[in-house]
Amino acid sequence: MTALFLFTFLASLFNALISLFFSQKKQAHLMVSALTILACLASGLMVFFYNTLPGFNLFLFEVLPNVPIEFYGNTNGAIFNIMLGLLYPAAYQYTRYFFIKSEMELGRFFFFFHLSFLFATLLAFSANLFTMFICYEFITLVTYPMVTAYRNQESKQSGRKYLLYLAGTAAMFLIPFVILVYVDYGHLNFISQGGFLVYGKHSIIYNIILVLLFVYGVGKFAIPPLNGWLPAAMVAPTPVSAILHAVIVVKSGAFMVITVSYYLIGEKFIDQLPRFFGSNMLSYIGAFGVLYASMRAVFATNIKTRLAFSTISNLMYCLLAISADRVPHQAAMIQFVSHSIAKIILFYIAGLSYLHNKDYQIKNLPNIVYGSKSSFVALCVAMISLMGIWPLAGYQFKHMLLAQEPSYGVINIVSSIGAILADIYLFEILWRFIVSKERKKWPVSNIVKITMLYLSALSLLFSGIVYFYF
């Protein structure tokens, strides 16, 4: 198992180097990409189905007493890794197609593209908060050149904002959280039995500050009001926007929040946080995020900006699931995966639309029914999932979230309002794509058509797995 994990790491690294030095050698690059996908899926599946196997524990070296750089097999990490492995081929093929059509340089971009997948895999299998933090920061560094891929003044300004928000929140909030926990408990290991922080050890004020340092310190989680970097990063090429929202960046932030909340802070600690009208304080933070981002999405006129605020809203649902008393922790991971697949579809469709008419304005969206039948099928699947309509996994998550909470609680009320707002801003996109009078074929290659149908099938398959197990 350790050897397989190492192979995934080395294959991704080799892939990055091939992209940088041999970007024109498509056959060699595709071969290594295939090996990376297989290794990623295999390692994830082995951990997912055999996570009790001894031996999957890779200890590199100790930085401080009881603070090693270490990786281990865990179920949530396996789910994240499987998701990466399944989305990797779609992301690669679509990005290559988009860059060739846009006449952009491939080698430099794909070098950082593959490195971002590499560090996401390492983050998924991190055995402690320190290791996860190092991987988290490397993801920031390797995705910065992707955000500034156009290399114009606007992208450079966006890149500076990207670094300022992500590095700034980590320096101001996340690092103090890490230090306080280490000084207080002597280690930063993830505990699968449910975390190790003790609520009664300090005052209520201290506990509140500690949790807020963590939640607002994970800048990639894009929690309002520290979410300004995400809409600003939409100046990047559409494939980068998809990677930011659906695969690597915000997903690494969401994964970090989920993992630390359940396996370091602990559900018992979170349940004892102050309550207002029966709801946990984190519920109100998540509720504000859902409503704020949903309202911004409703009034956004650019499709990428609207999808950016939609992403923020959907991330806040993960926080609502974490803060809820009786909602199983698997609910947050269901939202994590279902949103990833649906959102990458929507960004790719937005990119195809842009290649066709060079416009991201929602009012000018071209007709998708005439333009690309495969994209229309994918659009419908993604919309149904994000709107939380049966039978896709988005519905199952919201059912799990609402069924266990009292109807008068803030989670129930906000989730209902958020769902209505989501229906409004998503339905307008769907409506514009269907009723547009512009009726021309989109320049879509066969590989992109296959990619869109593949992503649709993934969404349906994941929904089936969720219904079978939950």
Residue 87 included in any domain: no
Residue 178 included in any domain: no
| pTM score of the predicted model | 0.92
Residue 432 included in any domain: yes
Residue 69 included in any domain: no
Q: What's the whole-number average pLDDT of the chain? A: 84
Residue 318 included in any domain: yes
pLDDT averages per 10-residue partition of the chain, 470 residues: 67 72 61 64 60 64 91 85 84 82 72 87 92 95 87 85 92 95 92 80 90 94 89 82 83 94 89 82 92 94 92 91 78 90 92 86 86 89 90 85 67 85 92 83 82 92 85
The pLDDT value given to residue 164 = 92
The 3-state secondary structure of the chain reads: CHHHHHHHHHHHHHHHHHHHHCCCCHHHHHHHHHHHHHHHHHHHHHHHHCCCCCCCEEEEEEEECCEEEEEECCHHHHHHHHHHHHHHHHHHHHHHHHHHHCCCCCHHHHHHHHHHHHHHHHHHCECEHHHHHHHHHHHHHHHHHHHCCCCCHHHHHHHHHHHHHHHHHHHHHHHHHHHHHHHHHCCCECCCCCCCCCHHHCCHHHHHHHHHHHHHHCHHHCCCCCCCHHHHHHHCCHHHHHHHHHHCHHHHHHHHHHHHHHHHHCHHHHHCCCEECCEEHHHHHHHHHHHHHHHHHHHCCEHHHHHHHHHHHHHHHHHHHHHCCCCCCHHHHHHHHHHHHHHHHHHHHHHHHHHHHCCCEHHHCCCHHHHCHHHHHHHHHHHHHHHCCCCCHHHHHHHHHHHCCCCCCHHHHHHHHHHHHHHHHHHHHHHHHHHCCCCCCCCCCHHHHHHHHHHHHHHHHHHHHHHHHC
| Domain assignment of residue 454, given as a range | 280-470
Residue 288 included in any domain: yes
Residue 401 included in any domain: yes
Residue 159 included in any domain: no
Q: How many domains does the chain have?
A: 1
